[in-house]
Structure 1
Amino acid sequence: MKLKKGTIIDKKIVDTAVKEQNIDDLGKATIREIVTIVNSIEARSGEQFIRMEMGVPGLSAPQIGVDAEVEALKKGLASAYPPLDGAKIFKREASRFAKAFIDIDLPEECFVPTVGTMQASFALFMAVSNLSPTKDTILFIDPGFPVQKQQLKVLGIKYQTFDIFDCRGDKLKEKLESYLINENICAIVYSNPNNPTWICLRPNELETIGKLCDKYDAIAIEDLAYFGMDFRQDISTPFQPPYQATVAKYTNNYALLISSSKVFSYAGQRLGTLCISHRLFSTYFESLKIRFGVGNFGPVIVGRLLYSLSSGASHSAQYAVAAMYKAACDGKYNFIEELREYGIKAKLMKELFLRYGFYIVYDKDIDEQIADGFYFTIGYPGLSEGELLQKLLYFGISGLGLRNTGSRIQGVRACVSQTKLSRFTELEKRLAMFEQSF
């Protein structure tokens, strides 16, 4: 890769940092490997990156949650083991939150705190892969969160994937059924809004997933990490439509992953919410009884898997999230309004990248332009995914390769959260130099 003009960062520093990670193609690098490389480059060059590789919150944690957790700690919760299935206040407010913003009615027992939704998905993968001797494979609707596939590799569970971009609307049924008809799929996993493309599944697509889960006895695992962040619809008024779109409206074979990290910017305390349909929670599976000694799905998740993984989730953090759930349901905390900054930044950042020769890889949401949110995807004419990532590093910009996410198209995932509006002038300068560099 020959550069005609100068770079922001010495090419040798970048190349050395990449080489130290033993990576011959940055398109194959994991999120954490990119983070390590960028940290190394920043330390050696003294140059602050425009960091777009990792999906971390860019907003401050709400004071409501912080105050509630501090109060819980003052009352002595730090020395008390949390109830394995969750503190009563957490379960109560989680149930209210689901009714207020998703419009689903579930008893409190169906809501379980986990050490982030990563732990929830890990436990779910272990459970669903043991529901039937013949159903040993998990199907991903990609692109998606790459670490979930890493979890399956760690667990030794088989998986299959397909890229949804050309399978939207009515085409989704045929595509899904081409896998489900083999009778080996135990669960379907997807995120909505989608990480990394920001595609948002329509109600008819969610209905398709739900009906096929019923027909083929599969579990829908819906990752709601970016809950309510399809800003084309305002779900901020509790107990009133519109609500967060969900497969839960169309099947009882579901589990929802609700993250506190992005929605409430409470990532540091690692507290997620696992929501399991009441019917699934109480369903008995003989295969689970044989494998874990308990046959009912919910007790296996809580009393066998989560117990084995961490013996509960942070006691004080449950009070923090419960307080934020309560404030949102009571109309005292408009979490959607706070999150709108991500949409504003995405719109402006996409305009900058387009101005300097980039294109949006996943540019359409069926018949609409892709919405503005936490992520967007970029490519550059004539550059492969790995080449683009490496060249961006020379100009102090980082991202993640789309191949990591299961995409069939080469490109880069860009996260908007860590770039403050005050640095947009600097980003434009770097992109202008990038364009002129060949």
Structure 2
Amino acid sequence: MQATPIKSEIVFEKIKASGLPNVGKASIRELVRLVNEIEIASGEKFIRMEMGVPGLEPAKVGVEAEIVALRSGVASKYPMIDGIPALKTEISLFVKNFINVDVDEKYCIPTVGSMQGGMASFLVGNRCQVGKDKTLFVDPGFPVQKQQLRVLGMGYETFDVYNYRGAKLKAKLESYLSKGDIATIIYSNPNNPSWICFTEEELQVIGELATKYNVIVIEDLAYFAMDFRKDLSKPGEAPYQATVANYTDNYILLISSSKAFSYAGQRIGMLVISNALAKKQFPDLKRFFSSDIFGYAMVYGAVYSLSSGTSHSAQYGLAAILKAVNCGEFNFVESVRVYGERAKLMKAIFLKNGFRLVYDMDEDQPLADGFYFTISYPGFSGEKLIEELLYYGVSAISLSITGSERIEGLRACVSQVQDGQIPVLEQRLATFHKNHPVV
């Protein structure tokens, strides 16, 4: 066996002991556990690109506000299920300032991360009409959202959007929506894992079809304003975060604090329901909830059942962050721009060493540099490439678990790679390239 940066016998034994039948199909958390065990056994630190977690310090204004709130005694008090007033006000203003959409603060709900917001959206959105109970994933996407639907016993359809960009999108979407059993559509924008960003034309198509077929769009804005080709940092000024909310009233926005504000550990996100949808009555909701009004069922049915509210102190922290952002005192976009700069550098190193980009274009424009990028290597499937890279101290996830049809590819996250590791990455990839020459 060729010499590798991580002792091959250690990697082999840890893979065997993991019980994973196929490392390339492992979930993100399973892969994290395996890499942790290899690091401990080998004493070597990996270039970790498998998990999309922030690599920056949390927004200080939020931390300080939480400390003040905790000292005031909020830890012993249950928060209101629909959120503290200060946070609801700032969420509504944030949506106006950075998306240019008007949403009543009443329909701005803090959740235990966007994960809970998604779960609540499925619980209500897929139960509005008998026989209309499936979700359509415009993939690739976040694998755990499909897991949520499996846990709920709900069905879903999926397609890889890469070959259906622009004018091709309408016919593809309509081929699913015309069947009459799709209740919700979900996608992320910018996209996890491919980092593609929908155009206004595409969002208009999604919005107009959602209205035509009475379908609810769940827009996952986990990487809010992180399309660094545009400066989205000035409150109340264009350009704004692109959104389907400009083209339909049938929308729910999931806005995360994890990446844009580096606040992942506090597990707090924002669920924003359009004014029109929140007020809409769906008689079939009475099968599961005490009210047939969508917004009421969401808060006092779904969110209440899932957690009975969101961490009290974290709400004060997020309220303070949003207030600073809304006032122009905290440029959150600039604070995370390092991800784009790091992605540009890392892409160049992979390409230099024989790798190729999988998703590389946004229609006719080069893909932005951001939180993720996607790679492949000639002669390897994505699943085999995952396993082989472990011997070289590099970890990522296979695109095959994200709903992508590009099974040769991997998703690489830049957030946990530190500046001092860049030369190590270059050395390890050079060794990989030498051991696996491209014919």
Do the structures match in fold with TM over 0.5? Answer: yes
Match of 1:181? 178
1:161 to 150, 158, 162: 158
Distance in 2 separating the partners of 1:117 and 1:161: 20
8 Å contact kept, 1:27–1:402: no
What are the superposed Cα offsets for residues 50-108 of structure 1, whole Å, 9 maximum, x if unpaired? 00000000110011111111111111111110011000000000111001100011111
Q: 141, 144, 148: which is aligned to 2:141? A: 144
Gaps of 5+ in 2: none
How many Å apart are 1:10 and its aligned residue?
Answer: 1.4
Q: What corresponds to 1:434 in structure 2?
A: 432
Query: In 2, Cα distance between the equivalents of 1:397 and 1:53?
Result: 9
1:26·1:401 contact (CA, 8 Å) conserved in 2? no
Cα distance, 1:334 vs structure 2: 0.1
Is the Cα contact below 8 Å between 1:197 and 1:377 reproduced in 2? Answer: yes
CA distance in 2, matches of 1:123, 1:189: 13
1:417 to 415, 418, 421: 415
- Does the residue aligned with 2:66 lie in a helix, a strand or coil? helix
- What does residue 206 of structure 1 align with? 203
Give the drift of 1:19: 2.1
Aligned residues: 435
Q: Deviations over 1:236-255 (max 9, x none)?
A: 01001000000001100000
The answer to whether the aligner puts 1:28 opposite 2:13 as a matched pair is no
Residues 14-413 of structure 1: matches in 2 within 5 Å?
Answer: 14-410=11-407, 411-413=409-411
Does the residue aligned with 1:144 lie in a helix, a strand or coil? coil
Q: CA deviation at 1:24?
A: 2.8
Distance 1:219 1:12 in 2: 51
Partner AA of 1:172 in structure 2: L
CA distance, structure 2, for counterparts of residue 40 and residue 338 of structure 1? 32
CA offsets, 1:108-164, max 9 Å, x none?
Answer: 111000001100100111111111112121100000000000000111100000000
State the AA in 1 paired with 2:255.
I
Rounded to whole Å, the distance in 2 between the matches of 1:236 and 1:386 is: 38
Structure 1 CA distance for aligned equivalents of residues 165 and 324 of structure 2: 36
User: What percent identity do the matched residue pairs reach?
Assistant: 54
**d(CA) in 2 for partners of 1:241, 1:254:** 22
Secondary structure at 1:36's aligned position in 2? helix
Q: Secondary structure at the match of 1:190?
A: strand
Counterpart CA distance in 2 for 1:293 and 1:97 is 31
List alignment gaps of at least 5 residues for structure 1.
none
Q: Secondary structure at the match of 1:289?
A: helix
Residues 4-50 of structure 1 deviation map (CA, whole Å, 9 limit, x = unaligned): x3101111211222222322322211000100110010010010000
Provide the C-alpha distance between the structure 1 equivalents of 2:413 and 2:219, rounded to a whole number of angstroms.
21
Please give the TM-score of this superposition, normalised by the length of structure 1: 0.98
Q: Which 4+ residue blocks in structure 1 deviate beyond 4 angstroms?
A: none
Calculate the TM-score normalised by the size of structure 2. Answer: 0.98
Could you tell which deviates more after superposition, 338-347 or 287-296?
A: 287-296
RMSD: 0.8
**In 1, Cα distance between the equivalents of 2:120 and 2:215?**
16
